[in-house]
Amino acid sequence: MGLLSVLYKGLFILGAAKVFQLFFRLIQCCLQLFVLPATNFAKYGGTKKSNSQKKYWACVTGASDGIGKEYAYGLAARGFNVLLVSRTESKLVELQKNLVQKYGSQGVEVDYLSMDCAQNKDADYAALKDKIANKKITVLVNNVGLSHDIPVSFLDTDEKEMNDIITINNVSTLRTTKIVLPNMMESVSQNGDVKGLILTMGSFGALFPSPLLATYSGSKAFLQNWSSALSGELKEHGIDCELVLSYLVTSKMSKIRRSTVLIPTPKQFVRSVLDGCGYRGGAQERMSTMTPYWSHGLYHFVVEETYGCYSSLVNMINLKFHKSIRSRALKKRAKKN
Ligand SMILES: NC(=O)c1ccc[n+]([C@@H]2O[C@H](COP(=O)([O-])OP(=O)(O)OC[C@H]3O[C@@H](n4cnc5c(N)ncnc54)[C@H](OP(=O)(O)O)[C@@H]3O)[C@@H](O)[C@H]2O)c1
């Protein structure tokens, strides 16, 4: 009897602790998604002073389209000079012109480097090193990314698509960060008031292991652990390092054009990232990670706190979802041919 009552008490305490933890996380999640003030980028060196010499630089990869392009606009608006790194030179020239037109009067300078990350050429990374030599960088956005053209089983994945996904999402992100980081550390150590920031684009494709997108899913899961580990290393150097989680966003990659409650435009999504830097949003259970868009945040929170992102039920639902996307994509292809 004595043993039973100890057991009941223990279970009650455990249950109460779990309920309290859930309640605490829910309140935090809602405050961060809906109430708390936007991040002040002055701490990363963003300034409205119109002297461009006094401005710090933000480097954005995959900047010529979609989410990356909006990062470039968002960071210029927050008072950074912007270095655009991406593949298609004509798009970079156009974006540079538009950014200077919009923010040039506020002293914002824009530079660019065109490189194809899939080629993994030493000469491109040497050119990046040269590009940043006289710039003080405090913000790096590792945004460049590639997914599968359409959902496909691992065995049927085209060899080039498989290699490109890993080279662009992983190798290029690591090589770029290795080049930019010493510059960022120096910029931060020269001015004790300024911090550094590294944002790396993760994905719900890795938050939920995603059948029929296995290589993409694995590449983004790699970035999750790499970024979180790096964040531990960089704290003492005054550099914040965040993995940014996102469900679908309208873009060339997602092939979705119309936004919905669950699928924001790149502009809406990037605003939530830049306003929410330092908040976990829907990613309450993991360090140095943010799910900042409100509907993505609630989605992440509910799945994690109920079935769990790694549950077999979620995996099965994901498989069904991707099977149906694949069959629609194949029908569309067949119509075109
Ligand atoms: N859209 C979504 O639903 C979604 C969801 C979760 C996570 N994400 C992540 O968000 C990031 C941005 O995605 P997005 O939707 O904005 O993609 P996007 O519209 O396809 O834009 C990709 C950007 O990366 C550049 N890029 C692609 N391949 C390149 C290469 N080989 N070398 C250099 N640059 C290259 C593109 O340049 P070009 O203009 O030359 O093509 C473009 O600027 C990715 O990391 C993606 O995984 C997206």
The answer to whether 55 and 107 are in contact (CB under 8 A) is yes
| Atom in ligand 1 nearest the alpha carbon of residue 248 | 3
CB atoms within 10 A of CB 39: 20
Give, as one character, the DSSP assignment of residue 104.
G
- Pocket probe for ligand 1: among 177, 249, 253, 259, the residue whose CB has the most ligand atoms within 8 Å is 253
Distances (CA, A) of 217 to 115, 154, 211: 24, 11, 8
Q: How far is the CA of 244 from the centre of ligand 1 (A)?
A: 14
Q: Which residue puts its alpha carbon closest to atom 9 of ligand 1?
A: 201
Q: How far is the CA of 115 from the centre of ligand 1 (A)?
A: 14
For residue 172, say whether it is annotated as part of any ligand binding site.
Answer: no
> Could you report the per-residue pLDDT of 182-198, keeping only the tens digit for each?
999 999 999 889 999 99
| Atom in ligand 1 nearest the alpha carbon of residue 204 | 6
Residue at 98: amino acid letter: N
Ligand 1 pocket, residue 64 CB under 6 Å: yes
Residues of the chain with pLDDT under 70: 1, 52
Ligand 1 pocket, residue 282 CB under 6 Å: no
The answer to whether 99 and 72 are in contact (CB under 8 A) is yes
Instruction: Give the pLDDT confidence score for residue 52 in this predicted structure.
Output: 65
Ligand 1 pocket, residue 228 CB under 6 Å: no
Instruction: Give the pLDDT confidence score for residue 1 in this predicted structure.
Output: 62
Q: Which residue puts its alpha carbon closest to atom 45 of ligand 1?
A: 145
Ligand 1 pocket, residue 206 CB under 6 Å: no
Ligand 1 pocket, residue 66 CB under 6 Å: yes
Domains of the chain (ranges, CATH numbers) = 38-336 (3.40.50.720)
Q: Tell me the C-alpha distance between 201 and 68, whole Å.
A: 10
Q: Tell me the C-alpha distance between 100 and 291, whole Å.
A: 31
Residue 300's DSSP bridge partners are none
- Pocket probe for ligand 1: among 59, 65, 177, the residue whose CB has the most ligand atoms within 8 Å is 65
Residue at 243: amino acid letter: L
Active site residues: 216
- H helical segments located in the chain: 2-30, 66-77, 89-103, 122-132, 159-166, 172-190, 204-207, 214-234, 266-275, 294-305, 312-336
Ligand 1 pocket, residue 251 CB under 6 Å: yes
Instruction: Give the pLDDT confidence score for residue 310 in this predicted structure.
Output: 96
Ligand 1 pocket, residue 176 CB under 6 Å: no
Instruction: Give the pLDDT confidence score for residue 51 in this predicted structure.
Output: 74
**Angle (deg, nearest 10), helices 2-30 and 294-305:** 170
Pick from 278, 239, 238: nearest CA to 140: 239
Instruction: Give the pLDDT confidence score for residue 337 in this predicted structure.
Output: 82
